[in-house]
Amino acid sequence: MTVATPDLLALSDKELLQRHNEGDADAFGELFRRHKDRMWAVALRTVRDPEIAADAVQDGFINAFRRAGSFRGDAAVTTWLHRIVVNAALDRVRRIKPTADLADHDPVEPRDHHRSVEVRLDVREALEQLPEGQRMALVLVDMHGLSVAEAARVLEVAEGTVKSRCARGRAAMAQLLEPA
């Protein structure tokens, strides 16, 4: 494991990203070191599976490394990374076939695991039918517990847009999940 040099430690995230774009071979490594744990937590909350989360973090940081030149600087680097990792995690989930492992394994509270899996699959299927903007807003606000303001920064839209996407998404989910 490489240790960041003192000059890199003193740089802001935006300065590190700029240095990476200018060819500094160590700058992105320092960004990774600073934010890997937070991005791991984001991915784990998104997919609730440590192996998938690890793959999503890896995918996310590879994407960020490759697309660093597209960072506009409008938001914090952490917000930009958060969005990339959430997208990578959701991409991973979309590629996985639903399995019984989706059930909560709560040893304290006995549950009907078959029903739990069924409900999760119904919710996942309903979420996948929503437009991307509504799905992302609901995932960030309702599932990750981000504030509307935080979700707006991650999605790079106005707070009012997040509120309306959540409202429309919840209404659509209610219809999609309504018993037949």
pLDDT > 70 fraction of the chain, expressed in percent and rounded: 82
Please provide the distance, in angstroms rounded to a whole number, between the alpha carbons at the two ends of the chain: 56
Tell me: the pLDDT tens digits for 39-84?
998 888 888 788 989 999 999 999 999 999 988 887 889 989 998 9
The pTM is what?
0.56
Tokens for 49, please give them.
């599976």
CATH of domain 111-180: 1.10.10.10
Domain ranges of the chain: 7-97, 111-180
Q: How is domain 7-97 classified at the architecture level of CATH?
A: Orthogonal Bundle (1.10)
Question: How would residue 174 be classed by pLDDT, with cut points 50, 70 and 90?
Answer: confident
Residue 164 exposed, middle or buried by CB count within 10 Å (0-12, 13-18, 19+): middle
| 82 within 8 A of 43, measured Cβ to Cβ | no
Question: How would residue 110 be classed by pLDDT, with cut points 50, 70 and 90?
Answer: low
Give the lowest-confidence range in 74-78, 143-147, 157-161, 168-172.
Answer: 143-147
Question: How would residue 18 be classed by pLDDT, with cut points 50, 70 and 90?
Answer: very high
User: Does residue 97 have a pLDDT over 50?
Assistant: no
User: What pLDDT is attached to residue 23?
Assistant: 93
Question: What is the mean predicted confidence (pLDDT) over 112-130?
Answer: 69
> Which residues contact residue 51 at a Cβ distance below 8 angstroms, ignoring those fewer than 6 apart?
none
Chain centroid to CA 105: 22
**Size of the chain in residues:** 180
Question: How would residue 156 be classed by pLDDT, with cut points 50, 70 and 90?
Answer: confident
In this predicted model, which residue has the larger pLDDT, 1 or 55? 55
User: Does residue 17 have a pLDDT over 90?
Assistant: yes
How far is the C-alpha of 28 from the C-alpha of 172, rounded, in Å? Answer: 40
Residue 163 exposed, middle or buried by CB count within 10 Å (0-12, 13-18, 19+): middle
